[in-house]
A and B are shown apart, each in its own frame.
Chain A
Amino acid sequence: MPAGSSATRLGYGLLLALALLLPQAGVYPVFLMDVLCFALFACAFNLLLGYAGLLSFGHAAFFGAAAYATGHALREWGLAPELGLLFGVAVAALLGLVIGALAIRRSGIYFSMITLALAQMVYFLFLQAPFTHGEDGLQGVPRGQLFGVLGLNSDLVLYYLVLGVFVACYLLIQRIVDSPFGRVLAAVRDNEPRATSLGYDTARIRLLAFVLSASLAGLAGALKTLVLGFAALTDAHWTTSGLVILMVLVGGVGTLFGPVVGALIIVGLENRLGDIGAALAKITGISWFSGLGEAVTIVTGCIFMVCVMAFRRGLVGEALDAWRRRRGAQAGVGASPGELSA
């Protein structure tokens, strides 16, 4: 989305106002916080996939590592929440540095496979390490008091904190994408040999993007631990990596807002499919729908396939494209080529 245009700013303003008011309107804050955490995770992932052109299959490793780190820091060491979050991010960044340094040397499918291999090793480490408590999960993480003064036990207060962090990170990602670094990153993505010939150290640029993405993904995991009060093995499992890929795909790869939409849809599905099914059953009178609540994987699989076949640019991507074409037609000029990946 071209940052700075008045329509965009108005759109964001409205969304922010909506986000601020939703809990007052009765929407459940914990659900919203869940969505925000995964939206942040998806945006972080999109930074790597959409803007750096790197498909990582192991992003759950950073999400889970920070979740455990923050959980441990808050529960065992009694750190304040802001310090706990920072610790989680630091751990994720460090892990990102290690895995990134190893994976960056290769490209394409081999890059993806290395990230998968290393993430699997991290997962098995978590499975066996005593501090994660394995399958039982790291339970009983306290919310504490922010900066020693603001008690976070109220869901509403925590919601505004999470919203604030999310908005800040979103702006950060926007800044990164529009900065000179972001432009160089796009150049490296589109044509690496040319970027190298222009004198850029492509490996270091990619590594920096990787570490940034890992850190933000870690922040998402750390926030989630704070919200729910525990960290579990599923946070680091490869199916979570798959889930975030789906969120970005559904929302729109390479768009800024796409991942947020994708996260909303997928998290909404996971939590609400049963309710949606019951509602559909009532409306249409077909009782088969009430069994929808057990069919989350089936529905997710269908959405995946439909998106790949028909909505490759994701919902936001398709919407942007349609909007651009209409504007182009109105201005009497042909549609301008989008900055979206194929």
Chain B
Amino acid sequence: MSRSRTPGVSGTSPWLAAAAALLALLAGPGQAQKLSDGAIRIGFITDMSSVYSDLDGSAGGIAIQMAIDDFKAKNPGLAIELMTADHQNKADIASSKAREWFDQKGLDLLIGGTNSGASLAMKTVAAEKKKPFISIGAGTSKLTNEECTPYTVHYAYDTIALANVTGGAVVRAGGKSWYFLTADYAFGQSLEKDTSAVVSANGGKVLGAVRHPLNASDFSSFMLQAQASGAQILGLANAGGDTINAIKAANEFGVAGSMKLVGLLMFNTDVHSLGLELTKGMYMTDGWTWNQSEESRAWSKRFFDKVKRMPSMVQAGDYSATLQYLQAVKAAGTDDGDAVMAQLKKTRINDMFAKDAYIRQDGRMIHDMRLVQVKTPAESQAEWDLVKLVEIVPGEKAYQSLADSKCPFIRK
């Protein structure tokens, strides 16, 4: 079959299209693809009913379906099915569902949403069954280090990239002295550790840190301690409700005025739920913003029409990863796990999510990351016009280098 690929959502050159049509006519349906059970089956397991349901949730499934529909529009005659499930933030449910789909429903691709524990459980199952697993919502960098497998792809972001970009770029923008407010468990601690290292390496200084218990509602006493430190930057090494409550307390106690707040793991959904008044001026790192380009704007509008919210980086990642997978299947001519993984790792990614991006040997998807700053209410033109770009950090600089990777099966 010819190597004609549809580059993203924009049109193909007319000659290529004609050639492809002629070939398809000659080859006939189904002959060009050797598909297991004659169909491509995509499974999507994420949190749809608990704390992370806004970031990804069932709307992520809608994004995936959009990718399937877009692909089918250009490739009619291919049977593609989507199955979705809610893991309710329980790794047990994610793992059993994934297993069942692979064993009994002929699943060809598993897409994992939020929750690192669930993602780690799912990647083990996928590797066992020799099928690709793309993790989009989870942040744990273990997926491309100690826990890497030849079948895992880690797509939109990870905690090391967030630390590198936020730490480095904020120091370069003038934020030299740091104080951390850290959630006292493995995730928060590693976020603090990674960011501290980057800050020091870039010439900044870490003045101290205070650890708070997970899901602490009240941050008033920690704010006092932060204020006493005299640092320029308050790094929030926590996520979700903790980040939001910390920001509220920071505003209340005037810390937001005297120090600059940096959210080490923050999404546009968090900014939206807090409102610009409380978050203005905050730095955060994003892998994708809905209004970063014409293409992303166009796609986001289609998403908004269906979901009534602007997409987050994770939902956009769901769309992009699905599209890339389907294109890889088409190019490889089969949905066999090994062939598709090989195809995915040698293709450049160019769509509304990322430009000139690629998937590395260890499964890490390398793409440009963006340091953004939250706009003031005056600067914002619309409900979801929340951030402005400060700096684009190229993928190779943002993500951990292959040399440092602890992935056991790669050749360095």
Interface residues of A (CB under 8 A from B): 28, 30-31, 34, 124, 127-128, 130, 133-137, 139-140, 155, 224, 228-230, 232-235, 270-271, 274, 291, 293-297
Which chain A residues lie closer than 8 Å to B100 at the CB level?
A: 28, 30-31
Give the Cβ gap from A137 to chain B, nearest Cβ, in Å. Answer: 4
Q: Which of A140, A228, A270, A294 has the most CB of B within 10 A?
A: A294
Which chain B residues lie closer than 8 Å to A135 at the CB level?
A: 116-117, 185-187
B interface, size bucket: 35 or more
Given contacts A31-B96, A34-B92, A295-B49, 5 further A-B contacts (CB under 8 A): A31-B100, A135-B186, A230-B124, A234-B90, A296-B49
Contact A137 B86 (CB under 8 A): no
Give the Cβ gap from A174 to chain B, nearest Cβ, in Å. Answer: 28
Which chain A residues lie closer than 8 Å to B103 at the CB level?
A: 28, 30, 155
With A233-B117, A294-B48, A294-B58 known as contacts, the answer to whether A134 contacts B95 (CB < 8 A) is no
5 pairs of residues in contact across A and B, judged by CB atoms under 8 Å: A140-B147, A228-B95, A228-B96, A229-B124, A297-B49
The CA-CA distance from A105 to B234 in the complex, in Å, is: 47
The CA-CA distance from A124 to B215 in the complex, in Å, is: 12
Which chain A residues lie closer than 8 Å to B120 at the CB level?
A: 136-137, 139, 230
Contact B99 A224 (CB under 8 A): no
Q: Which 3 A-B pairs have the closest CB atoms?
A: A134-B186, A137-B117, A294-B48
Contact B88 A136 (CB under 8 A): no
With A28-B103, A31-B100, A128-B185 known as contacts, the answer to whether A234 contacts B89 (CB < 8 A) is yes
For A297, the closest partner residue in chain B by CB is B49
Contact A139 B93 (CB under 8 A): no
For A128, the closest partner residue in chain B by CB is B185
Q: Which of A130, A136, A233 has the most CB of B within 10 A?
A: A136
Q: Which of A135, A229, A230, A295 has the most CB of B within 10 A?
A: A135
Which chain A residues lie closer than 8 Å to B186 at the CB level?
A: 130, 133-136
Which chain B residues lie closer than 8 Å to A293 at the CB level?
A: 48, 84-86
Interface residues of B (CB under 8 A from A): 48-49, 53, 57-58, 84-86, 88-93, 95-97, 99-100, 103-104, 116-117, 120-121, 124, 140, 142, 147, 184-187, 213-214
Give the Cβ gap from A308 to chain B, nearest Cβ, in Å. Answer: 22
The CA-CA distance from A274 to B223 in the complex, in Å, is: 43
Which chain B residues lie closer than 8 Å to A229 at the CB level?
A: 95, 121, 124
The CA-CA distance from A173 to B85 in the complex, in Å, is: 36
For A33, the closest partner residue in chain B by CB is B96
Contact B95 A230 (CB under 8 A): yes
Contact A30 B96 (CB under 8 A): yes
The CA-CA distance from A128 to B214 in the complex, in Å, is: 10
For B138, the closest partner residue in chain A by CB is A136
The CA-CA distance from A30 to B187 in the complex, in Å, is: 30
Contact A136 B117 (CB under 8 A): yes
Contact B49 A232 (CB under 8 A): no
Contact A270 B116 (CB under 8 A): no
The CA-CA distance from A319 to B70 in the complex, in Å, is: 53
Contact B124 A139 (CB under 8 A): yes
Contact B185 A137 (CB under 8 A): no
Give the Cβ gap from A217 to chain B, nearest Cβ, in Å. Answer: 16
The CA-CA distance from A291 to B49 in the complex, in Å, is: 11
Contact A228 B121 (CB under 8 A): yes
Q: Which of B91, B92, B117 has the most CB of A within 10 A?
A: B92
Which chain B residues lie closer than 8 Å to A270 at the CB level?
A: 88, 90, 93
Contact B185 A232 (CB under 8 A): no
Which chain B residues lie closer than 8 Å to A234 at the CB level?
A: 89-92
With A30-B99, A139-B147, A296-B49 known as contacts, the answer to whether A232 contacts B90 (CB < 8 A) is yes
Which chain A residues lie closer than 8 Å to B85 at the CB level?
A: 274, 293
The CA-CA distance from A31 to B93 in the complex, in Å, is: 10
Query: Which one of B57, B93, B117, B213 lies within 8 Å of A271 (CB-CB)?
Result: B93
The CA-CA distance from A294 to B57 in the complex, in Å, is: 9
The CA-CA distance from A140 to B95 in the complex, in Å, is: 12
Which chain A residues lie closer than 8 Å to B92 at the CB level?
A: 34, 224, 228, 232, 234-235
Which chain B residues lie closer than 8 Å to A130 at the CB level?
A: 186
Query: Which one of B48, B140, B213 lies within 8 Å of A136 (CB-CB)?
Result: B140
For A141, the closest partner residue in chain B by CB is B124
Which chain B residues lie closer than 8 Å to A133 at the CB level?
A: 186
The CA-CA distance from A31 to B84 in the complex, in Å, is: 17
Which chain B residues lie closer than 8 Å to A34 at the CB level?
A: 92, 96
The CA-CA distance from A139 to B49 in the complex, in Å, is: 24
The CA-CA distance from A291 to B86 in the complex, in Å, is: 11
Give the Cβ gap from B119 to chain A, nearest Cβ, in Å. Answer: 9
The CA-CA distance from A166 to B193 in the complex, in Å, is: 45
Give the Cβ gap from B239 to chain A, nearest Cβ, in Å. Answer: 10
Give the Cβ gap from A281 to chain B, nearest Cβ, in Å. Answer: 14
Which chain A residues lie closer than 8 Å to B184 at the CB level?
A: 128
Give the Cβ gap from A304 to chain B, nearest Cβ, in Å. Answer: 16
Which chain A residues lie closer than 8 Å to B57 at the CB level?
A: 294
The CA-CA distance from A233 to B90 in the complex, in Å, is: 9
Which chain B residues lie closer than 8 Å to A128 at the CB level?
A: 184-185
The CA-CA distance from A234 to B118 in the complex, in Å, is: 11
Contact B86 A274 (CB under 8 A): yes
With A136-B140, A228-B92, A229-B124 known as contacts, the answer to whether A296 contacts B86 (CB < 8 A) is yes
